[in-house]
Structure 1
Amino acid sequence: MNEHKTLTVTILEREYRVACPEGQEPKLEEAARSLDKKMKEIRSTGKVFGIERIAVMAALNLTRELIDREPVVTQDLDALARLESKIDAAMPEQIDIPMELDPDEDAGRA
């Protein structure tokens, strides 16, 4: 069973208590820092007011960045699959060779 831990993160000078699966704390902290940075950038433009609107704009910007990266990840996965196929084609089939001990050699070790 996954245990959850409560973590306190600070975003735009406000503290939030967030449930986090045990062992995932560093990732959640990194996500909070990234969100805080993005929200501060948006707030600093002076064009968006209110924490809720700033949060929505940050979410949209971060989501767009993920979508922009998706084709690159897909291309990388395709390239890895092609390389794996080439390696498989270049490798000879695995040959099972039975190992037999020489009884005389084995007796000499005793």
Structure 2
Amino acid sequence: MSNETVFVKILDKEYQVACPREERQALVESAQLLDERMKAIRGTGAVIGLERIAVMAALNLSHELLQAKTANYSAGGAASHSDLLRLNDKLDRALHNTAD
């Protein structure tokens, strides 16, 4: 499993992220989702500052993840724990790169 460098754009700023080759598309899609959320939060004018916008986006996405997890378990779904951990790790990486 080899890593490759991927360039993603979040709030008009480009970030360089290393990820496994087979996870490239998921990283790009995650970055696009984060970019959309952060732009929407910035667009409200209620939150100022890149770090605060990133934290609000992370909280919103984490909340949605927990809701989906709860709904899936309530419905008897079989979302794997490793899938949820991988998604959480992607969110952490995206936030870490945004804070730089």
TM-score normalised by L of structure 1:
0.67
Question: Gaps spanning 5+ residues in structure 2: where?
Answer: 79-100
Secondary structure of 1:73's counterpart equals helix
Q: Which has the higher contact order (CA 8 A, sep 6+)?
A: 2
In structure 1, what is the equivalent of residue 48 of structure 2? 49
Q: CA–CA distance in 1 between the matches of 2:64 and 2:56?
A: 12
Q: CA–CA distance in 2 between the matches of 1:23 and 1:69?
A: 24
TM-score normalised by L of structure 2:
0.73
Richer in helix (by share) = 2
RMSD: 1.4
Report the alpha carbon displacement of residue 33 of structure 1 after superposing the two structures with TM. Answer: 0.4
Following TM superposition, the consecutive aligned residue runs of length 4 or more in structure 1 with deviations greater than 2 angstroms are none
Equivalent pairs, count:
78
Write the letter of the residue equivalent to 1:68: Q
Report the alpha carbon displacement of residue 68 of structure 1 after superposing the two structures with TM. Answer: 1.0
In structure 1, what is the equivalent of residue 98 of structure 2? none
Q: Give the fraction of aligned pairs with identical amino acids, expressed as a percent.
A: 46
Larger radius of gyration: 1
In structure 2, relative to structure 1, the CA distance for the partners of 1:68 and 1:6 (3 Å cut) is same
Q: CA–CA distance in 1 between the matches of 2:77 and 2:22?
A: 32
In structure 2, what is the equivalent of residue 62 of structure 1? 61
Residues 35-79 of structure 1 show CA distances to partners (whole Å, capped at 9, x for unaligned) of 000000000000111111100110001000111111221133x26
Q: CA–CA distance in 1 between the matches of 2:69 and 2:25?
A: 23
Question: Gaps spanning 5+ residues in structure 1: where?
Answer: 81-110
